[in-house]
Amino acid sequence: STNMPWFKGWTLERKGAKADGKTLLQALDAMEPPSRPLDKPLRLPLQDVYKIGGIGTVPVGRVETGVLKPGMVVTFAPVAITTEVKSVEMHHEALTEAVPGDNVGFNVKNVSVKELRRGFVCGDSKDSAPKATEEFTAQVIVLNHPGQ
């Protein structure tokens, strides 16, 4: 534009493809979505747990890996509570399955809202159910350190 004569646009190069454009919308359209780890065991950290009248206990969280489906038997770590998923919803719409990246609420059978809490991890009971651990290895990146 005449307000930004120095801006010549952008260019993006990646394996097997090259894209260029002038606008932010074009740049966003050129991005490839991240690969979703569907083949890994289900891991869904709980953000919150609600008791909804007429429905029951509804844990809420984002699917990080795997797939969550109604009818699945799931286990919550670290308390080892096992139950069946009655339904899965995202933005008040029923889903047949939730995939990584989906923020969902799911109704569980025979579990009180007092038994679950934020930070628990939901996983498939039949495929590498999550469990508590005493140690783990992490890779940490410090973005802002006081005095440095």
Ranges of each domain in the chain: 8-35, 44-124
CA 42 – CA 33 distance, rounded (Å) = 20
Mean pLDDT over 137-142 rounds to: 95
Say whether 126 sits in a helix, a strand or coil.
Answer: coil
| Cα-Cα-Cα-Cα dihedral sign, residues 89, 91, 94, 95 | negative
CA 41 – CA 129 distance, rounded (Å) = 8
pLDDT at 110: 94
pLDDT at 127: 92
pLDDT at 18: 77
pLDDT at 1: 61
Is the domain 44-124 a CATH 2.40.30.10 member? yes
Instruction: Return the half-sphere exposure (C-beta side, CA atoms, 13 A cut-off) of residue 125.
Output: 12
pLDDT tens readout for residues 56-114? 999 999 999 999 999 999 999 999 999 999 999 999 999 999 999 999 999 999 999 99
CA 37 – CA 33 distance, rounded (Å) = 12
Q: Where are the alpha helices (DSSP H) in 10-120?
A: 24-30
pTM: 0.75
Distances (CA, A) of 89 to 38, 65, 84: 18, 17, 15
What's 134's DSSP letter?
S
Q: Are strands 17-21 and 10-14 parallel, antiparallel or unpaired?
A: antiparallel
- The CA dihedral of 25, 27, 30, 32, to the nearest 10 degrees, is -100
pLDDT tier at 15 (50, 70, 90 boundaries)? Answer: confident
CA 10 – CA 22 distance, rounded (Å) = 6
